[in-house]
Structure 1
């Protein structure tokens, strides 16, 4: 049997495992690192683990990520940009004109399965590596949690997907078939329940910030149970993460809502007390335009900035001129206008230009004047390393944060019939409001949906919420969303060609 070849390449602070046919042709055989002779030391195992994390934070070469896709798809944003085909994957997502050949589904599929492949290889090799037993157990737990993250996204986005738990010989790769979604969820839950007892409760931010902790895996398990409408199970996991007293610090994990909402969006405020799991970015990777997606900088920071921006006086924000994507709709700007989270969330460029006269900008496509302030890059955070400033901003993205899990536990408890005044659900819900100075209100589904929309605006959660609540068709119909189809993505045609995979029936297939 031919040896399976993997190439190990260092890129800035991450290590990527590459395996394309082109690389096999281009690389000198004497320089190849085979799977059989690579996984020999603890350092090898750590490099492989980092490569799995690399896919967790992977951004498309087309300058977008999962958050950008989810934002473009929801009712609060328009794609924006420089024209109707600028970052076309976001444009077709925003207008629901995607199909199996055109759209962001190839990025989502590739990100998930390349991550799963790397995880499976490491899990298949690590038992034979001589290393500290406790460290080995932790690496396995982190890898299983990451595999669960990849599968959770894939099953939500595509429904009927292949379930691969080991390595596949190249001769068999075209014979893979899809598994029932229930089987995928069974593996996700098993991976997480295996990992949770082993993972550390906390990690030192200075040296291990961004690595998966026990609380991150429990929060993810809560989300998985919620997706399956297992309300008591979801609430139980979120309760461990959220702590005994809503609004007070979790005595085990240290999680606590930040006193100031705006501080969540300070690019230097990484791994803060509200962060449960975040995607780490760096200003030091020197990522370039030859492969923008390989940059370790946050691409959201540049694509969301206003085009042609300049300060006219020092009272204006020091925004770094960007590409004007993911602008807020006027309807959302009106919805959040009187909420304390308005300014940290929405940048009103028309007000700066026409009323305050402190700045100017160039309107882009779909311009509304309302920009995603949470992610707009600032000149003060421009990297001092290299020259590709656009691609190397350091702000991290939250995959899960505490306000999210507060509201999700409140939702699970409410669905289980526990939402009255003074209940834990009521306290969790109103702790999120109290953080921004809002008075308590009744916990009901309508108020919960409003609160999640306000609290998590622009963070990639809205579309997933709408689909999970079963109201996406109602809310997004005017955007072209078709109920019974657009709740999932089409499986990319490139994955269907010459394989046994079948397209979902929602997209004209038979599965």
Structure 2
């Protein structure tokens, strides 16, 4: 069965829907004992395999649903409407009360390793394949990028994780250990450095528009370096992320028809109206319980709901507010209701759970703010011209209709650091960046402790650095049964 895999990455105003048989390939039953070792022969075979890697990021176990519980709901950006039995496990994530069997922990962990397994299947075979060198480089670069991207999530969420870079047998997998964080980051860097060399800057074949590029790899590598506090390395690679621009209209970034544009380096696209579905559940997950929109009555769960905290964080006149969230809606044609909800992914579904809005994972605005941060951490400068920390920060602010910052506002390194951190929260709201920023920000734990008090009037739990990591799913601990090489996080 042919499926439309609607994942699109990269910019230059390119729009694509990548058609493939990826799910058909990944889930097909054995035919004459066929395996990945015998399947991959032609360029078309590898194309199917690569599309299957992208497809793993659409899953509800990853960026189709579960990821935003660990990356946004965990933070001070969003919360859960229903704190009762129907959403207890989600509320656990929100309030730092999750157990080792929480299904969101298991979903993201397992879903991520499915993506890694698919990437390894391609990487195991592609070097020896009798296919054109240009295709070989592209497929290898894509697989390396996507494996690195998923490992970057895993190491920030769980800390030490098994570093699996080849296809494993069941017995081999059972003997995996939790590799040191430094080892995982070293592999992420290596994968992205290779991907940046192998991948093209742009694609000339329209059928390839939307796949990751060298700019995608360099952009993600720069983000990895910032996370590791390798400031000079970050600045060096980020300045080479070229060919992208900020869209004049922030709201236009999130319309389904404009999912791939000059600002996007990497986004997961969904498309409604296909059978089987290639849509998402964002609309029904996030809108209020009774929601009247464009003349149609819908019902939602109002999860991943903007907190009072983030609503208050927007500056007066910030154009991003109306594009990102709202605090009122209609329950029917005439009745207004109060209550926060996310607007970025507001694409009415063709059927229940079949929305077409995309989910951006890396944008040029992110790159600009990372550049500002990397330069400031090396040395504070009051200069405001092109190529300066202030210059990068102000590009983002001015697109939002806000006043440019100067040394009069931010007179030292510490105040500039805080300003970039605050800007990232608003610019990238609900795009799965906030929890990761809190992890690496020195004031992150104090911010979350204050959030629990201010938002929910909770003084417990008392947050310590150990709470910056999630538990390894209990199922993994039980399978390995090796407290020395595969221990649980404290």
Shorter-normalised TM range: 0.7 to 0.9
Contact 2:120-2:167 within 8 A present in 1 as well: yes
Matched, 1:400 2:362: yes
What is aligned with 2:396?
A: 432
What is aligned with 1:332?
A: 310
What is aligned with 1:344?
A: 323
What is aligned with 1:290?
A: none
Per-residue Cα deviation, 1:436-469 (whole angstroms, up to 9, x for no partner): 2211113512221221122111111111111111
Per-residue Cα deviation, 1:380-405 (whole angstroms, up to 9, x for no partner): xx43xxxxx12221111111001111
When residues 501 and 429 of structure 1 are mapped into structure 2, their CA distance, relative to the original with a 3 A threshold, is: farther
Contact 1:406-1:428 within 8 A present in 2 as well: yes
What is aligned with 1:464?
A: 436
Q: Secondary structure at the match of 1:106?
A: helix
What is aligned with 1:220?
A: 220
What is aligned with 1:244?
A: none
Structure 1 residue 33: Cα displacement: 2.7
How is 1:226-375 mapped onto 2 (pairs within 5 angstroms)? Answer: 226-241=226-241, 250=242, 253=243, 255-287=244-276, 295-310=277-292, 320-336=298-314, 338=316, 339-349=318-328, 358-360=334-336, 369-375=339-345
What is aligned with 2:374?
A: 412
Aligned counterparts of 1:404 and 1:128: Cα–Cα separation in 2: 37
Structure 1 residue 298: Cα displacement: 2.4
What is aligned with 2:11?
A: none
* Structure 1 spans left out of the alignment, 5+ residues: 1-8, 242-249, 288-294, 362-367, 384-388
Contact 1:319-1:376 within 8 A present in 2 as well: no
Contact 2:42-2:130 within 8 A present in 1 as well: yes
Structure 1 residue 221: Cα displacement: 0.3
When residues 103 and 34 of structure 1 are mapped into structure 2, their CA distance, relative to the original with a 3 A threshold, is: closer
Aligned counterparts of 1:353 and 1:286: Cα–Cα separation in 2: 30
Structure 1 residue 205: Cα displacement: 9.4
What is aligned with 2:420?
A: 448
What is aligned with 1:180?
A: 180
Aligned counterparts of 1:67 and 1:129: Cα–Cα separation in 2: 37
Structure 1 residue 204: Cα displacement: 6.1
What is aligned with 1:123?
A: 123
Q: Secondary structure at the match of 2:304?
A: strand
What is aligned with 2:50?
A: 49
CA RMSD of aligned residues (A): 2.8
Per-residue Cα deviation, 1:105-162 (whole angstroms, up to 9, x for no partner): 1112112211111111211112332111111111111111111111111111111111
More displaced, 198-207 or 391-400? 198-207
When residues 206 and 358 of structure 1 are mapped into structure 2, their CA distance, relative to the original with a 3 A threshold, is: farther
When residues 374 and 73 of structure 1 are mapped into structure 2, their CA distance, relative to the original with a 3 A threshold, is: same
Aligned counterparts of 1:394 and 1:419: Cα–Cα separation in 2: 43
Q: Secondary structure at the match of 2:86?
A: coil
| TM, length-normalised to structure 1 | 0.82
Matched, 1:95 2:95: yes
Aligned counterparts of 1:267 and 1:145: Cα–Cα separation in 2: 24
Contact 2:469-2:489 within 8 A present in 1 as well: no
* Structure 2 spans left out of the alignment, 5+ residues: 6-20, 411-415, 453-460
More displaced, 426-435 or 110-119? 110-119
What is aligned with 1:377?
A: 347
Q: Secondary structure at the match of 1:86?
A: helix
